Amino acid sequence: MTANEVKQSIRNVPDYPIKGIQFKDITTALSKPECLRWMRDEMVKRYKGLGINQVVGIESRGFIIAPAVAMEIGAGFVPIRKPGKLPAETITVSYTKEYGTDSIEMHKGALNENDVVLIHDDILATGGSLMAAVELVKKAGVRKIYANCIIELEGLNGRKYLKERGVDIDCLFGIEVDE
């Protein structure tokens, strides 16, 4: 399995969630065991041995690979969810995305100053949701943060946006927005 083969298995959904957006649907790749295994294994190769003890997954597609990677590298899993989905006291960050605004939450006390964290989401577009997750994780005072996505939508400048804010991002592969 190669990055290109995984890339070819991702479908486009036009005009979702709003008109003009070309949604990159990874569920078609996730339905293929060899693609799912490749994504997990690539992330494990990149992050094993870096002292990561918590993997944070952003709702909803960040929940799919993050726990599997966490288990393989000997880390725990912490969910970041949409408002009202976590049962205990939370901390919240709001952000702007390419088609509106949103908020995400994490349980208060889920992370601490001794943690080395990998934040994972499926797609890096404009960088808003990932930057909001970084802000949540920073509020916990963690020791170090790594950030990863499966796909980078090239041309939307998410990487540049994150880099300007001091976040290093690693993506398994890139896809042109119109591809």
Please report, for residues 67, 85, 105, the alpha-carbon distance to residue 88 in angstroms, rounded to integers and kept in the order given: 20, 9, 11
pLDDT tens digits along 17-72 = 889 888 999 999 999 999 999 999 999 999 999 999 999 999 989 999 999 999 99
Q: Which of 61, 105, 152, 159 is catalytic?
A: 61
Strand ranges (DSSP E) for 15-131? 22-25, 54-58, 76-80, 90-97, 100-107, 116-124
164 noted as active-site residue: no
Q: Which of 46, 59, 81, 98 is catalytic?
A: 98
Q: pTM of this prediction?
A: 0.94
pLDDT tens digits along 108-159 = 999 999 999 999 999 999 999 999 999 999 999 999 999 999 999 999 999 9
Is 49-176 assigned to CATH 3.30.450.20? Answer: no
- The b/e string for 20-46 (b: 16+ C-beta within 10 A; e otherwise) is eeeebebeebbeeeebbebbbebbbeb
61 noted as active-site residue: yes
